[in-house]
A and B are shown apart, each in its own frame.
Chain A
Amino acid sequence: MKNLVLTRIDDRLIHGQVMTAWIKNRGAEQVVIVDDATANDEYMIEVLEMAVPEEIAIGIFTKEDGVRFFEQGLDAPTILLVKGPQVLNYLVDNGINIDEVDVGGMGARKDRTVLYKNISTNEGEKEQFNELLEKKVNVYIQVMPQDNPVSISEYLR
């Protein structure tokens, strides 16, 4: 969709200078996080606000509110940040047009195995990624703007 300059999966969400580098790289003016748990955690919201440059507007929404927000179109270059692929399937299924997804960080956890370098997934998340690919969303792994994007599809098998 217009003005959606980056859709990124990163379970660290806003990540200091890494996020700043992406904001600069894409010329973004606003960052929208869609994550139910974060949207319901006032204190976490305040902490995340501290982590973004002051001139960047921020919105933190539940997935239902996220759909409402994106349905209206975007007035300014926007980065969409989520923690995993599931919420992106939800957004796409609810009519939000997302062409490509950057996987930037999914940390190791007991239920996850390494997919590629420091990106780890569990079986459910792999399925969610496959679903996105089936919906013709281009999913690639790229930690930093200067890295070469690596297509996720071959690692899902």
Chain B
Amino acid sequence: MINVVLVSHGAFCQGLLQSLKMVAGENFGVKAVSLNEGEAPEEFRIKLEEIIKENHIDSEQETIILSDIPGGTPFQSAAYLAKRYKIGLISGMNLPMLLTLCFEKSRHNSLEELVDKVTSEGSLGVQAKLFKEGEKSKREKLSIDKNR
């Protein structure tokens, strides 16, 4: 099974992991590694590598790393480690994306397929509503006397 690690500037990744547990009832084996304020990038990279190694069964083991912003230190460290490990790296992590990843990861066996799936528009959960007067939903409503 593909491993999942969350990385971020500060405690965002730990908070995200907690929220995952609250919404879905478990953490699906997801790990979180935060870059703390004042911490050197090398230190962070060592911590991240240790976490990747924890569940690294063999050289075929794949890991998906979700990071907060593209190009930051957590992101760069993960990219650097892709030299030694099979890594799929995704930035802009959010809870809908993480939920999709956790629900799907037992079903999809290829890293590529899974990365495509969790970065598709429907998995990102970004919706905007303006609550304008008179806005009507297109949804079918069930009436008491008729099913459809």
Residues on A lying within 8 angstroms of B by beta carbon are 15-18, 21, 30, 32, 46, 49-50, 52, 54, 56-59, 61, 65, 68-69, 72-76, 117-118, 143-144, 146-147
Contacts of B148 in A (CB 8 A): 30, 57, 75-76
Q: Is the interface of B mostly helix, strand, loop or mixed?
A: loop
Contact check, A58 vs B141: say whether CB atoms are below 8 A apart.
yes
A143-B24 contact in complex given A17-B100, A30-B148, C-beta closer than 8 Å: yes
* Chain B: interface size category: 20 to 34
Contacts of B100 in A (CB 8 A): 17
- B103 beta carbon closer than 8 Å to chain A: yes
Taking each of B129, B138, B141, B147, which has the highest tally of chain A beta carbons within 10 Å of its own beta carbon?
B147
Q: Shortest distance in angstroms between B1's beta carbon and chain A's nearest beta carbon?
A: 12
Q: Shortest distance in angstroms between B109's beta carbon and chain A's nearest beta carbon?
A: 16
Contacts of B26 in A (CB 8 A): 143-144, 147
- B99 beta carbon closer than 8 Å to chain A: yes
Contact with A along B33-51 (1 / 0, CB 8 A): 0000000000000000000
Contact check, B23 vs A61: say whether CB atoms are below 8 A apart.
no
Residues on B lying within 8 angstroms of A by beta carbon are 23-26, 96, 99-100, 103, 106, 125, 129, 137-148
Q: Shortest distance in angstroms between B107's beta carbon and chain A's nearest beta carbon?
A: 9
Contacts of A117 in B (CB 8 A): 25
Contact check, B24 vs A18: say whether CB atoms are below 8 A apart.
yes
Contact check, B143 vs A144: say whether CB atoms are below 8 A apart.
no
Q: Shortest distance in angstroms between A101's beta carbon and chain B's nearest beta carbon?
A: 17
Q: CA A122 – CA B145 in complex, angstroms?
A: 35
Contact check, B129 vs A59: say whether CB atoms are below 8 A apart.
no
Q: Shortest distance in angstroms between A119's beta carbon and chain B's nearest beta carbon?
A: 10
